[in-house]
Structure 1
């Protein structure tokens, strides 16, 4: 009897999950009891009982002779219930929440940001002291629609140093890099459109694209960029609208795009009418600049975005979009519609910090610390049999393979119980083919307790 009740609950949970993810919308006709029984491998009577209970709760409604239909208004969107069912240790949103909600004593080698002491705290403090004497409109008023003119002018010159020609009028400030991608998705995507991402890629790309109801297709990533053969095949098969990538230091692999692959990607994009979103958030970590798609393309098909949350402050939220001039007005309207004018204070802080005489020294020290941390972390992982996929030329991530037969989600679950937050590979993989990989943030991996807990996790049955 208890087994039968459990199966009924499983059928109910399956229907409710599909309603929550909006796979089943209001008025949607549920599969017949026989079809549902066959799909879920339960008896017809189990499905009948589950449907009747859902009807009693008002979740679905019965129409005699027609079947069962979803009742009520559109369900609140539940991103965690969309897409493949993942263990919560590999769910992209859950990985973020674990890191952001962690207590001070929790170790976070799986998070995606630097420790506070590694950020440009001194520059931010100097900026705040300076701005305490600023005019009242800086401290209390909205910014102009495109954002702080001085910061946009500075960014125009900065981008030119990387070969990207973008006038200040082609740059719009945003609250973050994530908001920048969100606005681009609102501008260019309709629900059901296909978007290409690298496999693996930054896991929040997956979550954000789910929120836009996009169809996501992963393209295997190599040490020099996306697999061109698979990339071309995906263009032919899926006719994607967007491709979202990093072309500086790739997250999570640490790889860098080669010039040959960059040129081929742009040629394919031109043939297939593909728009590329290039996230350049790790630019300041580079020792040698990798090619930028936006530099080769001249912002014709490439939208270039970035922010300052990795090198200056994650607390001072400020990012930007650089794009073709004829797209900027519509993007600006979307920004006003979704967040209104933005703030002046964050942009003032960022500009003051970037133009501070200490910022260059801060970056030099930061890159030196990251190089040292990369070497130490790789050695400690190697001693445990955890091998980096490649040795990055710069940056803060190591994409590592576990010893054969070990599952990253199981290792993460063990470590989480002992106060260590890891980032398992399948959180980054659209195809879920990275179950034996972990991403390590070397700046957050200097505590020896991490490796003691990892060693126990690797020995655990």
Structure 2
């Protein structure tokens, strides 16, 4: 809320300082015209003039005769990602929740994290791959990666795409350090500060934080068990000139939902009518029991960029991601990665993954993981039911359950109480740009075997 003791001029100055500090207005950018800004803010032009004059006296902006006011670039505070956008309470702040999972206290239980338990991963295959890699040529162990990344891993991906009925040429695929870096490169290439980007509400919170770092305007699209709410989507596109839409088509994070064919076709039609580019995050693809509709397949990589990685099924320690898209887009993204990282991801990581993925043991590993997850989902839902916690939808696969809590319970408060007992949860509003998911929570069913999880959760709900 605004401090009532501040004058209109001071409140206006604070608003402008916030825009400049967050780089929504960067060095050299022209400030809004006095009359237009006065109309936008509901103040008189003289109030804007006074605010501009006082900011100019502070050296933050300067006037150019006959042209207006411009940001100087002086006296700017360091840019802090965590301070961009609206401030959230700590218990539903994406950065705090991520840090709790990445730097847990000893003995922490993590049903709110986004990965499988260590003992579910294929350690023997990874060790075997490391031994084979140690005997490989010196180039893999010492040289930079090629601009597109490991040819062996890209050929594996092209084969998998062909199985999905997504024909692609080698020049349409590049490797990145992770799926998050893939998204970062796309943002750098396609977005400018102030652009509008559509995201699912709820949706993956770390991508929301990444977009926030790029100083874009996030608009949430309500998500349904069949995909984005297309009536709301169409209204949003009509009212906004959106540049990008980011989504999961299968095993959506956090809801576990999968897009229906009808929604997928209509979504692509809307995107074409409004010249909207779609980024389809396919990180959870291998956890599906059988393939479901993919926007990239239906679109043929025309206006859809497909990204993914291998940390969910193989190793979060040996990270590598990819981007598949039109050849012109990939060519520009490769140049950008060369400029920012001097080539693709580590050849050691990429060649190791290529070897493990191409071996026959990987498919067997996936069959085992899918079976264990199916049992874990049923078990988790049955154990949560007596607490009045119910799944919003029944996922076809994956390790997430998006659950609704009994009326009147704020999951952010529950998560705060559980954190004090060293149980890390992921409350709904961490995933919601509109902060409309206070009654929901995302559970990782693979991380709920310990009986203490339900015990601490029950106590937290009773203590509300």
TM-score range, shorter chain: 0.7 to 0.9
Corresponding position of 1:324: 326
Give ranges in structure 1 of 5+ residues lacking alignment.
6-10, 30-38, 40-51, 64-68
1:229-251 CA distances to partner (integer Å, 9 max, x unpaired)?
Answer: 01111111112111100011111
CA contact (8 A) 1:91 1:427 kept: yes
Work out which of the residue numbers 358, 367, 378 in structure 1 matches 2:361: 358
Structure 2 counterparts to residues 275-294 of structure 1, below 5 A? 275-294=277-296
- Counterpart Cα distance in 2 of 1:129 and 1:413: 44
- Counterpart Cα distance in 1 of 2:128 and 2:14: 54
How far did 1:103 drift? 2.6
Work out which of the residue numbers 223, 226, 235 in structure 2 matches 1:224: 226
Work out which of the residue numbers 185, 197, 203 in structure 1 matches 2:199: 197
Structure 2 counterparts to residues 115-264 of structure 1, below 5 A? 115-264=117-266
- Counterpart Cα distance in 1 of 2:320 and 2:107: 28
How far did 1:16 drift? 7.8
1:143-173 CA distances to partner (integer Å, 9 max, x unpaired)?
Answer: 1100111111111010111121111221000
- Counterpart Cα distance in 1 of 2:240 and 2:16: 28
Matched, 1:21 2:28: no
How far did 1:121 drift? 1.7
How far did 1:72 drift? 3.5
Matched, 1:447 2:450: yes
Inter-CA distance 365–142: structure 2 relative to 1 (3 Å threshold): same
CA contact (8 A) 2:426 2:441 kept: yes
How far did 1:254 drift? 0.5
How far did 1:409 drift? 1.0
- Counterpart Cα distance in 2 of 1:59 and 1:290: 56
- Counterpart Cα distance in 2 of 1:4 and 1:192: 29
Inter-CA distance 223–339: structure 2 relative to 1 (3 Å threshold): same
How far did 1:271 drift? 1.0
Inter-CA distance 298–366: structure 2 relative to 1 (3 Å threshold): same
CA contact (8 A) 1:249 1:255 kept: yes
- Counterpart Cα distance in 1 of 2:339 and 2:20: 28
Matched, 1:77 2:83: no
Corresponding position of 1:44: none
SS of match in other structure, 1:156: helix
SS of match in other structure, 1:172: strand
- Counterpart Cα distance in 1 of 2:412 and 2:154: 42
1:14-34 CA distances to partner (integer Å, 9 max, x unpaired)?
Answer: 9986664345767999xxxxx
Corresponding position of 1:105: 107
Matched, 1:266 2:258: no
SS of match in other structure, 2:312: coil
Inter-CA distance 413–13: structure 2 relative to 1 (3 Å threshold): farther
CA contact (8 A) 2:310 2:321 kept: yes
- Counterpart Cα distance in 1 of 2:455 and 2:220: 34
- Counterpart Cα distance in 2 of 1:262 and 1:60: 47
- Counterpart Cα distance in 1 of 2:106 and 2:130: 25
Corresponding position of 1:94: 96
- Counterpart Cα distance in 2 of 1:25 and 1:109: 40
Output the aligned Cα RMSD.
3.1
Work out which of the residue numbers 383, 386, 392 in structure 2 matches 1:383: 386
How far did 1:73 drift? 3.8
- Counterpart Cα distance in 2 of 1:178 and 1:324: 20
How far did 1:227 drift? 0.5
SS of match in other structure, 1:294: helix
Q: TM-score, normalised by structure 2?
A: 0.87
CA contact (8 A) 2:280 2:304 kept: yes
- Counterpart Cα distance in 1 of 2:332 and 2:4: 55
CA contact (8 A) 1:276 1:301 kept: yes
SS of match in other structure, 1:154: helix
Moved more, 77-86 or 291-300: 77-86
SS of match in other structure, 2:406: coil
SS of match in other structure, 1:74: coil
Matched, 1:438 2:441: yes
- Counterpart Cα distance in 1 of 2:59 and 2:22: 14
- Counterpart Cα distance in 1 of 2:14 and 2:274: 41
Inter-CA distance 402–417: structure 2 relative to 1 (3 Å threshold): same
Inter-CA distance 291–133: structure 2 relative to 1 (3 Å threshold): same
- Counterpart Cα distance in 2 of 1:359 and 1:25: 48
CA contact (8 A) 1:17 1:81 kept: no
Corresponding position of 1:49: none
- Counterpart Cα distance in 1 of 2:194 and 2:14: 25
CA contact (8 A) 1:144 1:341 kept: yes
